[in-house]
Structure 1
Amino acid sequence: MRLLQRLALGRFYARLPEWVRVVVAVSAVVLGIVIVIRPTTALGVLAWLIGGGMVLTGVLELTGRDGEGKRPRWRTVTGAAWLLGGLVVLLTPGLTVRVVATLVGILLLAAGALGIVAVFAKGRTLDARIADAAFSISGVIFGVLALFWPDITLLVVAVVFGARLIMSGVADLWTRIRRRRDTQAARRHEPRPFRRWGRTVTALVSVALAVTTALVTVPLREGSTVVDDFYAAPRDMPSEPGRLIRAEAFTAGIPVSATAWRILYTTTGVEGDVRVASGVVVVPKEGDGKWPIVDWNHGTTGYSENCAPSLQPRGLWSGALYILPTIIRQGWAVVATDYIGLGTEGPHPYLIGPPSATASLDSVRAARELQDADLGTRTVIWGHSQGGAAALWAGSMAREYAPELYVQGVAALAPASDPPALVQNISSVTGGSIFASYAFASFSSIYDDVSYDDYVRPGADTVLRQMSERCLSDPAIVVSVAASLGMSGDPRLFSEPPASGPLGVHLRANRAPLTQNAPVLLAHGGADSVIPVATQTAFVREMCAAGQVVDYRIYDGYEHAGVVERPSPLLDELIEWTTARFAGEPAPEKCSTTRE
């Protein structure tokens, strides 16, 4: 207590009315809640919030009471450290998220460790020992999370420190309330045998929260797929695209009626250079061979190399091909590209048309070199979402780029046909910032004149970068979902409209082609929130105005992914439409729109 009295803050605070101390405790709780629920606040503002929270934590540590008369010196030390750390954050502009997270983590660990040691000091009551032990253990756990969670992000800093600040404020507030009740009870000579245990209960709740948070992170550290040596480009790589490099048996998500391989092949990159891509080839076990080919272009799975469908436990299902057994029963083969940068070395050209199309067409060309697959030449191109746009690009480029393939139709299912409209709308969609993160990672990596700093507001850029590293099938995607939900309450994702400047130029350049060299089926869910049906309808009108015949079908009540899942009527109609294309039946001669 003598050491505390030497501090000017301690002497000043001790003279203040009790209600001022209550205000400080309540302020800590409120500030903690603000930090937790607004993790995507601009970095400068968030730093001020966290710095202010650290100062409040220091004040609570320096001036709070144990209720036992004597103030432990370790709390004076940790209180001074929190106060100093908060001032550093407040007075040092431009601190990165990692620096703030590291500082918070170190202070939480140090305070927790000192508290655990102090638990064994003499003269402590049982409730005080339990409370201090609980708060100290929770501090250590939260400190470890801040330092070693899979991603050091604004979200982690906010949740970890904000939760700790809330608990500290609640505990101090309980101390104030308890002291007032004790005083009133003493005046009435009423016994209060459980008066000290409120703070202990709060401390135990803090431990429960910390342990729960830690347990939740365990599966987030596990389950992510790992890229193996199969995807490495050889030194003696063929110099032309569409050549098979290697193939091996593949079983993930493959029905018993089929045989499958994963393949590595050459294709054409963004700059026209020869790149390496991977994919999957699936053929029926029974039949006469020379299988008609469904050239499948998968929907969004992520941006990182480990997001390739051929790496996922459920195989092509992860890219929204939910009817593989049905396709095999038709006597058709499936050739499914992973695209460049998924499985193989990146960057992945997410929503960038030409390299997506060449990866698709080259996968079929390379698969035809696989003698055991015994593929024919008749090809119908399918694709969903990201892959729907790739299918439209492939259909437009096939005649010139891969004339040896007989493309008889293009089925674009909820295609991302208009990237400018998609990116502009995506920030208002719950979870849409995850897809925006993939788009910004792609365009900023591939185009030198596109930068996060020019379009994404401070604070959100860090979150987007971290999001882009997670696959949709990874357990850690829940972190992205949580951050995305936080962003939904603060929709100013962009500091500048994405359709402006260099990004807008590149987005418009990657709109799907309006004309094809084969019949087109374009299907869309009437309840699609990712790509509004009005956006797709406007694009179809442009196609028809350009002279392209489109069989446009809208399925009311179906969402973006649901339109390609059972019981969507699209699936049976898609099989019927594809059967007609392989049979060479005449396609409609006029644009048509049907709504079911």
Structure 2
Amino acid sequence: MDQPARRTRPATRWALLVVSSLAVPVGAVLALRPFVSLAVLVVAVVAGLAALGVVHLVADRPAAASDAGAAARWWWLAGVAYLLAAAVVVAWPGPTIAVLARVVGVALVVDGVLDVLAARRAHGTGRANAALSGVTSVVLGVLALAWPDVTVLVVAVLVGIRVLVTGIRGVAAALRGTWRRGPSRQDRRARPGRGRLVVNVAALVATLALAAAGVALDGGTARPDDFYAAPADVPDAPGRLLRSEPFTSAEIPHGATAWRILYSTTRGDGTPTVASGLVVAPDTATGDAREPADVVAWAHGTTGVTPGCAPSVLPDGLAAGALFVQDDVLAQGWALVATDYAGLGTAGPHAYLVGEPAAHDVLDAVRAAHQLDDVTLSDRNVVWGHSQGGGAALWTGIVAPDYAPDVDVLGVAALAPASNPTALLAHLPDVSVGALFASYLAEGYAATYPDVRFADVVRPGARTVVREMAHRCLADRGVVVSALTALLLDQPVWAHADPFTGAFGDRLTQNVPSGPIDAPLLVAQGTADSIVVASSQDEYVAARCAAGYAVEHRAYDGLDHVALVEADSPLVPDLLAWTRDRLAGAPATDTCP
């Protein structure tokens, strides 16, 4: 027979009603506005934990003297655990989202363990409900503690839903004057509770799916192997080949041979470092009767900002960096020298959208490629780059005469280049996953410049999620979590309404490639680009023209950011013809008025 529902005392009933009524809006805020701000999140989490604790203490008290045996020794522990968690958050100096995750994780694990213990004392459906609820709570707690990708979702959304549901049930119980919790931890003989059983099964399945997704996403992360480790005696001279080995990939076409290389280069502050890259050459440049191959130096588009995001590390890495026409390059008899940039295969930091070190990486890759024994390269070089790499290509043209006068750059093709980091940053709020690129920018600049502090650039409530996003490559499976997080963010990640002020703004302006480029310059842009907008590119080209520099500017109607460089783009035959002209020494076109 089911135990009768426990009728609450008037004072307890009113306390339950007040606390539960407060829990409803608190749970709603946590579930629906998890990224509003760290201060609001802390207050909401504290209030939610306190509400859960009070409701547990009121609702879980043994209903009858028969329950007062072993159950009486632990009925209050879940409530106390939640109240203690709330107190820890309040007392913690400068709580962060990571702190919230750990505190909430511990509370969820304690609650879950108590549910599992209760299952041992229950019977029938009550045992199943308690066990399912306990396992779900434990798994969620472990996720909060161990899987940072769902930190905010666990802390805010999942806990928010739990607080919201508990609050609604508490209000209903207070208005009814009784508390019917179904199979509680004290029930030795639970009523059937089949509806609750369905809910608990669904909750456990969803939680296990979340955990499985975390394992799968983590398993899709590429990691550099020992090839990318810097040797102990890195030479100060840039462009020295330190290591090479044959490279195989489905992206390397028939009739070509590839190597991955490790070479010395220079950071923007002049510090020696190492970078990695790929060299792909047609067989005509590698056989016994080899002929020197002209070089296309490729600067790839955004792949991420952390080691593991290098095209030579990633599966289908050339495509990840927006190179889809390597077959066309090699069919022309040209060799491809593709830097990974320092910090993407090798140890970081990676100077994302910082011009000079990217240019050094491009030029030193060409220098190192000439030191390979099994390929013969000519001294004629043309630089191509897309997006981030388009900006790197522009900077390569600027710094080449002084930094690498031995590398003869005959042309620079900047394809949808990130030519103005300030304008790009200003446009990111209009991009659906703009927060992801903002995280790369914040992490890259803070890691590169001592005067740019991450804590000054990113608002407190977004710092953990920004760092999490910054440590995923665009080609990783886990970027799905980044994209979801970016879509859920309800305000920009920046600490100030105007992020262009102070050291960060100064450094952004400093990285606009506005200097002279001696080589012929092609700037190609899709008019439908949603990331590097055409109007911003027009302004950049106009500024170069006004400064007296020659530019060939081509616009491609209806093409978006990546479509511009895909194999079937009308840009491709134009780019190949333009490159042939540069290598042949033909006069360049200037479209400036």
TM-score, reference length from structure 2:
0.89
Quick check: 1:63 aligned with 2:64? no
Amino acid in the other structure paired with 1:257: G
After superposition, residues 27-176 of structure 1 pair within 5 angstroms as 28=23, 30-64=25-59, 73=72, 74-90=74-90, 92=92, 94-121=94-121, 124=122, 126-151=124-149, 153-166=151-164, 168-169=166-167
- 1:291–1:331 Cα contact (<8 Å) kept: yes
Q: Which moved more, 1:125-134 or 1:70-79?
A: 70-79
- 1:293–1:333 Cα contact (<8 Å) kept: yes
Whole-angstrom distance in 2 between the partners of 1:462 and 1:174: 37
Say which SS state the counterpart of residue 220 (structure 2) adopts: coil
Whole-angstrom distance in 2 between the partners of 1:15 and 1:502: 57
TM-superposed CA distance for 1:309, in Å, is: 1.1
Quick check: 1:466 aligned with 2:461? no
Whole-angstrom distance in 2 between the partners of 1:433 and 1:231: 29
Whole-angstrom distance in 2 between the partners of 1:581 and 1:336: 19
- 2:140–2:154 Cα contact (<8 Å) kept: no
Whole-angstrom distance in 2 between the partners of 1:157 and 1:543: 49
Summarize deviations over 1:109-140 as a string: whole Å, max 9, x none.
Answer: 1111111111121xx45333222222111101
Amino acid in the other structure paired with 1:264: L
Summarize deviations over 1:206-247 as a string: whole Å, max 9, x none.
Answer: 212212211211112212122222122223333311111111
**Inter-CA distance 483–166: structure 2 relative to 1 (3 Å threshold):** same
TM-score, reference length from structure 1:
0.88
**Inter-CA distance 238–75: structure 2 relative to 1 (3 Å threshold):** same
Which residue is 1:186 aligned to?
A: none
TM-superposed CA distance for 1:589, in Å, is: 3.6
1:277 to 275, 278, 282: 275
Whole-angstrom distance in 2 between the partners of 1:553 and 1:294: 20
Whole-angstrom distance in 1 between the partners of 2:466 and 2:162: 25
Whole-angstrom distance in 2 between the partners of 1:398 and 1:512: 13
Whole-angstrom distance in 1 between the partners of 2:504 and 2:587: 41
> How many correspondences in the alignment?
568
Q: Percent identity?
A: 43
Q: Is there any run of 5+ residues in structure 1 with no aligned partner, and where?
A: 183-192
Q: What is the alpha-carbon root mean square deviation over aligned residues?
A: 2.8
Say which SS state the counterpart of residue 275 (structure 1) adopts: strand
TM-superposed CA distance for 1:371, in Å, is: 2.6
Which residue is 1:266 aligned to?
A: 264
Q: Which moved more, 1:371-380 or 1:559-568?
A: 559-568
Which residue is 2:228 aligned to?
A: 231
Amino acid in the other structure paired with 2:196: R
Which residue is 1:251 aligned to?
A: 248
Q: Is there any run of 5+ residues in structure 2 with no aligned partner, and where?
A: 1-5, 181-189
Whole-angstrom distance in 1 between the partners of 2:505 and 2:193: 62
After superposition, residues 457-496 of structure 1 pair within 5 angstroms as 457-487=459-489, 489-491=490-492, 493-496=494-497
Amino acid in the other structure paired with 1:200: L
- 1:441–1:468 Cα contact (<8 Å) kept: yes
TM-superposed CA distance for 1:31, in Å, is: 3.1
**Inter-CA distance 166–404: structure 2 relative to 1 (3 Å threshold):** same
2:196 to 176, 199, 219: 199
- 1:383–1:413 Cα contact (<8 Å) kept: yes
- 1:248–1:262 Cα contact (<8 Å) kept: yes
TM-superposed CA distance for 1:402, in Å, is: 2.0
**Inter-CA distance 525–36: structure 2 relative to 1 (3 Å threshold):** farther
Say which SS state the counterpart of residue 257 (structure 2) adopts: strand
Whole-angstrom distance in 2 between the partners of 1:413 and 1:501: 30
- 2:60–2:76 Cα contact (<8 Å) kept: no
Whole-angstrom distance in 1 between the partners of 2:197 and 2:19: 20
- 2:149–2:481 Cα contact (<8 Å) kept: no
Which residue is 1:185 aligned to?
A: none
Which residue is 1:187 aligned to?
A: none
- 1:153–1:466 Cα contact (<8 Å) kept: no
TM-superposed CA distance for 1:460, in Å, is: 1.2
Which residue is 1:497 aligned to?
A: 498
Say which SS state the counterpart of residue 390 (structure 1) adopts: helix
**Inter-CA distance 148–466: structure 2 relative to 1 (3 Å threshold):** same
Whole-angstrom distance in 2 between the partners of 1:374 and 1:507: 39
Q: Which moved more, 1:275-284 or 1:250-259?
A: 250-259
Whole-angstrom distance in 2 between the partners of 1:78 and 1:143: 14
Summarize deviations over 1:436-484 as a string: whole Å, max 9, x none.
Answer: 1122112212221111222222111222122211111122222221221
1:373 to 372, 375, 390: 375
Whole-angstrom distance in 2 between the partners of 1:131 and 1:175: 20
Summarize deviations over 1:541-589 as a string: whole Å, max 9, x none.
Answer: 0011112222212223222222212432222221222122222222114
**Inter-CA distance 580–102: structure 2 relative to 1 (3 Å threshold):** same
TM-superposed CA distance for 1:281, in Å, is: 0.2
Summarize deviations over 1:21-49 as a string: whole Å, max 9, x none.
Answer: 4x755754553342233232322221111
